[in-house]
Amino acid sequence: MTVFARRARASAGRLHPELSLVSYTLLGHLEERDGCRATDLAAHYALDKSTVSRQVAALERAGLVERRQDPEDHRVQVLLLTEAGRHILGQVTVSRRAAVGERLADWSQEDLERFAGYLVRYNAWPRSG
């Protein structure tokens, strides 16, 4: 797992130098949810609020994320992808899929199905404190 995580971090830097694996993950979550609060990001990924705050600030400085007032609760700021954020996320996603496809190209259908099943099983593990 450590090697897998190291390779993921390294490939993130190669695919887009200013987009870390954490940044990519946060952008993906914002796209998936069509925006959310920073506290929601922290809770979802079990991260400290200050960690999320630093990551979000960097994404804002890069012009990839913007804050808007929540239309349902004007006291709350919602994080949304900018057009630039959507564009870079799309580019990195295409690159990542190509890299994974290349890595798995010579795997048999049986191996791919087994691997996919293991990933589903691994990701289904219930979160604990």
Task: Specify burial of residue 95 (Cβ count, 10 A radius: 0-12, 13-18, 19+).
Answer: middle
Mean pLDDT for 45-65 is 93
Please report the pLDDT score of residue 8 as a whole number: 62
Query: How many domains are there within the chain?
Result: 1
**CATH number for the domain that contains residue 52:** 1.10.10.10
Mean pLDDT for 43-64 is 93
Q: What angle do CA 91, 93, 99 make, to 5 degrees?
A: 105
pTM listed for this prediction: 0.74
Structural domain including 30 reads 1-128
Please report the pLDDT score of residue 61 as a whole number: 94
